[in-house]
């Protein structure tokens, strides 16, 4: 089969996603323009103790429905392993790590059902695994769809950037094997340059996603403030709490890193813990 250049393919996908969300995004921009900044929910200042409490509450949610949640979250490591295997088998070995590490960029989408479970438990409602599909009834579901697609676009932009970094360091010739690629990465100056630049660029992508999504998705699940209003509130929450949010970003990054080490199996625990905790963090950051 003919394997397309990853950059060309990704650019096509970005264009398609942009067209798909243009109408929805425009509707929410108009919605935001009709309101005032004062109509947006107020944000609070939090401390490191609040982060610990959010994690404790997230662990309680996980423990209450662990069988259902673990079964649901099993799909994420399986999907990651399948994608990584497909990339390696298609001669796209340099994209295996960006695919796996880039999971943090789309993690907020994967955690939507977990937010819904935490919301229902908070309200004292009965909870089952089918409630993860309750997000389709969320007040801001249209904006959730639009924001999800934008995060997918950011993920594709990360893949384009990662492959471009490979091309200017170890490329342009594809590696002959996984072992040869790993050897080149850790034993050559070009390989270390790829690591350093890749980590720096990946950090910028991670900061962007954390800033625009840490509050946005839970807020839209809770009430409809429009796409622009949700993102603005999330940015305000991060700006008001730079220290705690930096720590939270490190907690998320560290959790996903260690969860990915044993063939992504650890994500079965890490993802629901972080997802539930993010809902409780939202409750602390945004006034009801």
Please tell me the predicted confidence (pLDDT) of residue 23. Answer: 53
Joined together, the tokens standing for residue 86 give: 């497909």
pLDDT at 96: 83
Distance between CA atoms of residues 231 and 106, nearest Å: 16
Average pLDDT over residues 49-68: 85
Average pLDDT of the residues in 182-194: 93
Residue 43 has phi, psi (to 5 degrees) of -110, 150
pLDDT of 38 reads 44
Tell me: pLDDT of 9 over 90. Answer: no
Closest CA relative to residue 265, chosen from 274, 273, 256: 256
- Model confidence pLDDT, tens digit, residues 80-135: 667 666 666 666 788 888 888 887 788 888 888 889 888 888 888 877 777 777 78
What pLDDT shows up at residue 232? 95
> What's the Cα-to-Cα distance from 180 to each of 59, 166, 187, 198, rounded to whole Å?
41, 14, 10, 19
The 10s digit of each residue's pLDDT in 189-233 is 999 999 999 999 999 999 999 999 999 999 999 988 999 999 999
Residue with tokens 């650890």: 266
């Amino acid at each position: 089969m003919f394997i397309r250049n990853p950059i060309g393919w990704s650019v096509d996908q970005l264009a398609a996603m942009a067209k798909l969300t243009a109408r929805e995004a425009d509707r929410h921009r108009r919605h935001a323009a009709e309101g005032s900044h004062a109509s947006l929910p107020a944000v609070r200042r939090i401390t490191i103790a609040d982060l610990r409490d959010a994690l404790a509450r997230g662990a309680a949610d996980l423990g209450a429905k662990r069988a259902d949640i673990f079964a649901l979250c099993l799909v994420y490591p399986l999907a990651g392993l399948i994608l990584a295997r497909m990339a390696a088998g298609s001669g796209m070995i340099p994209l295996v790590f960006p695919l796996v590490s880039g999971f943090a960029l789309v993690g907020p989408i994967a955690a939507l059902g977990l937010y819904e479970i935490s919301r229902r438990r908070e309200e004292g409602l009965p909870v089952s695994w089918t409630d993860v599909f309750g997000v389709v009834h969320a007040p801001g579901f249209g904006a959730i769809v639009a924001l999800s697609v934008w995060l997918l676009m950011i993920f594709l932009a990360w893949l384009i950037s990662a492959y471009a970094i490979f091309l200017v360091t170890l490329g342009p010739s594809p590696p002959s094997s996984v072992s040869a690629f790993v050897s080149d990465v850790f034993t050559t100056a070009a390989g270390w340059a790829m690591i350093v630049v890749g980590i720096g660029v990946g950090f910028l992508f991670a900061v962007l996603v954390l800033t625009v999504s840490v509050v946005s998705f839970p807020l839209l699940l809770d009430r409809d403030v429009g796409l622009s209003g949700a993102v603005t509130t999330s940015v305000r929450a991060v700006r008001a709490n730079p220290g705690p949010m930096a720590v939270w970003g490190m907690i998320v990054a560290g959790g996903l890193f260690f969860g990915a080490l044993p063939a992504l199996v650890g994500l079965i625990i890490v993802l629901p813990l972080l997802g539930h905790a993010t809902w409780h963090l939202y409750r602390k950051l945004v006034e009801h």
